[in-house]
Amino acid sequence: MSRRALPLLFILMLALTSNHARAESAAAVAANAQRSIDQGDVPEWWTPKLPADVQRDVDRKGRGLAEGLKLEDDAQTDRVAALVSQHFARVWAWHQQVDDRLDAAWADWDAARSNADGKEKDELRALAIATEQIDPIYAEFTPQIQGLLRDLRAEVGEEKATELMDRYTRSPGAERTYNAYLGMVPEMTADERAILWDRMAQAREESMAAWTGGRIIKIFKKQKVRNEFSIDYFGYGYRERYKAWASGGR
């Protein structure tokens, strides 16, 4: 094995270990949360009591996203708006309970990735923080996201449910980010492309727990960091490919 391949292999092993740990830890949190809900032991945020201004905000969100689907049936639009408004009411209420922990975890992630004062970014530490701190917190809200998507698919089908998610997460956007990877490394294999896409699809779903656009960007970024390491492991050299893509006018 070449000397160049050794650090790439190390990075991959760590990245895969991080993803595996996240899959176990976050999945366990999500499973426990779902089990409690199924047993009738719902969290406080499940039945939120919102201030009037927040209620108006979630109603606007629900109505705007529902009308953006351009459904032909007005009653169906109303039902989708109600589902989405209820979802974002729970998003807001959930954040009132978890933001102390979540803000601290994101602050640790930002610190690891900061290059202020000449400090070098530590993306491997950021991966560990995402796996061990951030992902499990978001997993607490997974039952609500999955329930919303299940209800939307039953009401309007898979395509429209995905369109609604895409509208809410349009910046940075799952497909737009994925297409950028294809522009950087068009010779990727189908299996390599699938790994990158799965993370973008995961970021899109998880971003349905975000109350602000800034947090949507962060949720995507933690998956993008994983993808950047994967592109390195695949042997393409992410930094060099990104620079060439960016300087080429995209």
pLDDT for 250: 59
**How many CA atoms lie less than 13 Å away from 84 in the CB half-sphere?**
31
Confidence of residue 12 (pLDDT cuts 50, 70, 90): very low
For residues 41-62, give the mean pLDDT: 98
The residue range of the domain holding 69 is 5-247
**Total domains in the fold of the chain:** 1
| 175 CB neighbour count, 10 Å cutoff | 14
pLDDT for 78: 98
For residues 44-73, give the mean pLDDT: 98
Q: Determine the residue type at 39.
A: Q
Describe the crossing of helices 142-156 and 74-113 by its angle, rounded to 10 degrees: 150
- Residues of the chain with pLDDT > 70, as a percent, come to 90
pLDDT for 11: 46
Length of the chain: 250
User: Over the stretch 104-137, which tens digit does the pLDDT of each residue have?
Assistant: 999 999 999 999 988 899 999 999 999 999 999 9
Least confident of 3-7, 31-35, 211-215: 3-7
pTM attached to this predicted model: 0.89
User: Over the stretch 215-249, which tens digit does the pLDDT of each residue have?
Assistant: 999 999 999 999 999 999 999 999 999 999 999 86
- Residues with Cβ within 8 Å of residue 95, at least 6 apart in sequence: 102, 211
Alpha carbon distance 105, 239 (integer Å): 26
20, pLDDT greater than 80:
no
pLDDT for 249: 60
Least confident of 19-33, 77-91, 156-170: 19-33
Residue 63, token pair as written in the block: 């109505």
For residues 207-213, give the mean pLDDT: 98
Confidence of residue 33 (pLDDT cuts 50, 70, 90): very high
pLDDT for 157: 98
Residue 160, token pair as written in the block: 């429209």
Tell me, rounded to whole angstroms, the distance of Cα 128 from its chain centroid: 16
Alpha carbon distance 205, 191 (integer Å): 21
Alpha carbon distance 230, 101 (integer Å): 29
